[in-house]
Structure 1
Amino acid sequence: MVKGVTLHKPYNNAQVFATSSAGMILVGMMISWGFPSASLPQMEQPDSDIHFTAEAASWFATVPFLMLIPGSFIGSSAYEWAGPRRTFLLLSLILCCSIMSMSLTGWTLVQEAGMAEILLLASRVVQGSAVAFLIPFVSVYTYEISDQYLRGTLTSVTEAFATSGFVLCYLAGCFLSWRTSAIVLPLVTLVPGFIGIFFSHESPLWLARIGKEEKASEILSVMRCTEEEAASDLKTARRDVGRACKWSESLQMLLKKSNALAVVLSSSLMVMKEISGFAVLSIYVVQIFQEAGVGLDPKWSSVVVGMARLACNVLGSFMLHNFRRRLIFVVGNTLTGLATAAIGTFFYLQSRGWDISHLTWLPLAALVVHMVGYAGGVGPCTWTASVEVLPGPVRSIGTGIFSTSYATAAFVISKSYPNIRDMIGLHGVFWMFSGGCIGYILLAIFFLPETKGKSLQDIEDYWENVTKKRNARVYV
């Protein structure tokens, strides 16, 4: 199949270019998620022409997570039906237009008709739907174009792109009006991503699954480091020809115990990630700093935290390339757990009227530590491991399921955050996040298989062996 073809060196341009192109689209996706952090504080100013109620502002911030619940599950089906490349091209345009449409609320006609708030919420629904469809594509596409030696590194790089989206929002909130940001940010992220995907290769494993083996072989010869790995990946994909391309057949494959166990684990990883408080900290970071009363301007405090997270994404790629997944999970969650516990203690002392003027540095320092643990370990490792543990026949639908699980957890936690904060206080919220980190450590230690350096076939064999052992215990 690839005999006589000279394969490229490990860090070939095809893998890097495709990952970067998908990453730029991911930056635009995260701009949609992070936009409320920069825009809501401006909208709440006395001279603002946007008049959200507290409930409407909460929906403005969290509705993309709500749309992600059904959308990501449907998007995983679209991956097999349409393929990632053409879907990337279509949805990135829709997302770009929907973000830019928010600037139309400044038009006199819209203001006089009293439609500004409705237009904002409607555009957020469209943004959420587009991002929901795209979420499975970014993870699976990056995974399937990468060879087994670079898979962890390149997949973790997508976390750096995601962080860049939030950082751009935080920076834009310091220098630009939110309407100007709605125009500039998608232009500098989604448009380059669209152009890059246009010139990138299709997923070779998806092509193999739909029976286009010759084209898949051609692309694998470019995107794999050795002839043996290209042959191995094509052999694994060949077994799944036609099995995961129809929705009904994907569901049937999901009923197989080995596949179901893998999907349950990947979904559990994503849910536990959100229980550590990432969505809340990303959306409400400026408000949290305002309540803490830190010495540094809250907007710039959010930039510092975002930049720390971005810098640590580089650390995360290094960690995934050199260390085992379980170790990364334990170390990362330990740091995030200690950080949220420290912030909880700060707000507890504040609520009890203690003099904490000498501790105003603590929230910022703790959130930086939190980002070191999250961005250097928990975040990239969760997204990477959640895809890595999925066998080929259910990788697409499994990604949709764990994305839906993630979205449900993120929406419930972020939407209920104001109510939970009022019930148990900010200290209770952060202590709750610390408890989530402990639970995540236990999940990683006792249930996560080691996937570093494993081939696609190794992963499938692992789950088959687990199922056989469980069945053997039942019969004994």
Structure 2
Amino acid sequence: MMTFETFGELLVYCIGPYVTLFFFSILTVIITLLTGIFIFQFLPESPFYLLSKQRRSLAENALILLRNDTRDGVKLELEYIQAIIQESEHTQGRIVDLCESKASRRAEITTIGLTIFQHFSGILPIVLYSQDIFNVTGSKIPAEYCTMSFGAIQFLSSFIAPNLVDRLGRRWMLFLSGMGMAVSEFALGLYFYRKDNGMTIDKMFWLPVASLLIFIVSYISGFGPLIWTIMSEMFPIHLKAAAFSVGFCIWWMLAFIVGAIFYPVSNAIGMSGCFWMFASCGFAGTIFIWAYVIETKGKSLQEIQQLLSK
């Protein structure tokens, strides 16, 4: 998912500066339609959905295609999915059930906390207003080239991050991600502080680009994809739907708030103050991860629930 998302942003950065808004809107509509046609034509239906509708043969064919395996090879997984569906039919969780035990409460606090720190680290304003940010830096590098580099590094990072996560684990990657985001934003805030106060920045023209590139690599390596990974691993089957519903609602609400207040806040306290505020949230996020978030890599659901209950 993160790879396709970053590819779309790279496309915007590369094409957007050179075409009209009308043409670009038409182009994005065409790409969306082609994507929809591809999905309906080539992608198989989810085995979970097909089994829930009692279409076992179609579910088996879909799983064979997805796993590139034989019927005997997917037989065990098919039975496992069937068992999960039968269990969920009898224990469908509600939103209020997220508070039913210490484990589910801690899991919900973890995911909500990570979502808050993700947004208030400034990812949305940086992605949406990257060219505007580069314009006000006064850098000698043209803003459109900076944003293209920004998008390219972001796209390439989406291929590297999964390998690092498998090696280091979720908790360490989140910690390093938050630290990298905070340090890079502190450096960017320092650049704007010197610029706004008339200090010499001629020899620091590279700092805004380097800071934002480090920021986006750090984000893609941890805070970007891992929140949803951890959410899917922490909750039992019957609570996943409720947990994701709450998580997505909070995610979009915070996205709207942070996107709406960026310009008013930056006008009120300056770009330096704004980025230092984001950096402070990033440092606070690393403390939260170190003190509260558990490692879920390689652990069964039962082991995760035991850790959450401690």
TM-score (norm 1): 0.59
Q: Shift of the alpha carbon at 1:212?
A: 3.1
**Structure-2 residue corresponding to 1:354:** 199
CA pair 415-235 structure 1, distance change in 2 beyond 3 A: same
CA pair 378-254 structure 1, distance change in 2 beyond 3 A: closer
Partner residue of 1:175 out of 4, 8, 18: 18
Counterpart amino acid of residue 212 in structure 1: Q
Q: Shift of the alpha carbon at 1:463?
A: 2.4
Are the equivalent residues in 2 in contact too, given 1:385–1:451 (CA < 8 A)?
yes
Q: Shift of the alpha carbon at 1:277?
A: 0.6
**Structure-2 residue corresponding to 1:383:** 228
- Is the partner of 1:385 in helix, strand or coil? helix
Counterpart amino acid of residue 166 in structure 1: E
**Structure-2 residue corresponding to 1:462:** 304
Partner residue of 1:256 out of 89, 100, 105: 100
Taking the aligned partners of 2:183 and 2:135, their CA distance within structure 1 comes to 22
**Structure-1 residue corresponding to 2:89:** 241
Partner residue of 2:152 out of 307, 321, 328: 307
**Structure-1 residue corresponding to 2:283:** 438
Taking the aligned partners of 2:192 and 2:210, their CA distance within structure 1 comes to 14
Match runs of 1:113-128 below 5 Å: none
Deviations 1:128-167 (A, max 9, x none): xxxxxxxxxxxxxxxxxxxxxxxxxxxxxx1111111211
CA pair 241-464 structure 1, distance change in 2 beyond 3 A: farther
In structure 1, stretches of 5+ residues that fail to align are 1-157, 470-476
Are the equivalent residues in 2 in contact too, given 1:274–1:410 (CA < 8 A)?
yes
CA pair 446-298 structure 1, distance change in 2 beyond 3 A: same
Taking the aligned partners of 1:448 and 1:194, their CA distance within structure 2 comes to 40
Taking the aligned partners of 1:216 and 1:390, their CA distance within structure 2 comes to 28
Deviations 1:166-206 (A, max 9, x none): 11111121222111111112312442244324443333334
Q: Shift of the alpha carbon at 1:222?
A: 5.2
CA pair 197-261 structure 1, distance change in 2 beyond 3 A: farther
Q: Shift of the alpha carbon at 1:252?
A: 5.1
CA pair 378-287 structure 1, distance change in 2 beyond 3 A: same
CA pair 278-190 structure 1, distance change in 2 beyond 3 A: farther
Taking the aligned partners of 2:304 and 2:115, their CA distance within structure 1 comes to 21
Match runs of 1:275-354 below 5 Å: 275-354=120-199
Q: Shift of the alpha carbon at 1:296?
A: 1.7
- Is the partner of 1:240 in helix, strand or coil? helix
Are the equivalent residues in 2 in contact too, given 1:344–1:431 (CA < 8 A)?
yes
Partner residue of 1:427 out of 272, 294, 303: 272
Taking the aligned partners of 2:242 and 2:169, their CA distance within structure 1 comes to 26
Taking the aligned partners of 2:287 and 2:179, their CA distance within structure 1 comes to 11
Are the equivalent residues in 2 in contact too, given 1:392–1:460 (CA < 8 A)?
no
**Structure-2 residue corresponding to 1:203:** 46
Taking the aligned partners of 1:323 and 1:234, their CA distance within structure 2 comes to 33
Are the equivalent residues in 2 in contact too, given 1:313–1:376 (CA < 8 A)?
yes
CA pair 254-215 structure 1, distance change in 2 beyond 3 A: farther
Are the equivalent residues in 2 in contact too, given 1:276–1:434 (CA < 8 A)?
yes
Taking the aligned partners of 1:449 and 1:238, their CA distance within structure 2 comes to 29
Taking the aligned partners of 1:450 and 1:226, their CA distance within structure 2 comes to 29
CA pair 196-453 structure 1, distance change in 2 beyond 3 A: farther
**Structure-2 residue corresponding to 1:141:** none
Q: Shift of the alpha carbon at 1:327?
A: 1.3
Deviations 1:303-348 (A, max 9, x none): 1111111111111122223331111112222211111010000001
Q: Shift of the alpha carbon at 1:226?
A: 6.0
Instruction: Say which structure, 1 or 2, has more relative contact order (CA 8 Å, 6+ apart).
Output: 2
Q: Kindly, what percent of the aligned residue pairs are identical?
A: 22
Taking the aligned partners of 1:204 and 1:260, their CA distance within structure 2 comes to 30
CA pair 311-239 structure 1, distance change in 2 beyond 3 A: same
Deviations 1:228-268 (A, max 9, x none): 45444443332112543xxxx53354342243432332222
Deviations 1:272-326 (A, max 9, x none): 1111110010111111111111112212211111111111111112222333111
User: Which ranges of 4 or more aligned residues in structure 1 deviate by more than 6 Å?
Assistant: none
Counterpart amino acid of residue 200 in structure 1: L
TM-score (norm 2): 0.87
Taking the aligned partners of 2:303 and 2:58, their CA distance within structure 1 comes to 23
Counterpart amino acid of residue 287 in structure 1: D
Counterpart amino acid of residue 388 in structure 1: E
Counterpart amino acid of residue 250 in structure 1: R
Taking the aligned partners of 1:334 and 1:164, their CA distance within structure 2 comes to 25
Taking the aligned partners of 1:234 and 1:446, their CA distance within structure 2 comes to 38
Number of residue pairs the alignment of both structures matches: 303
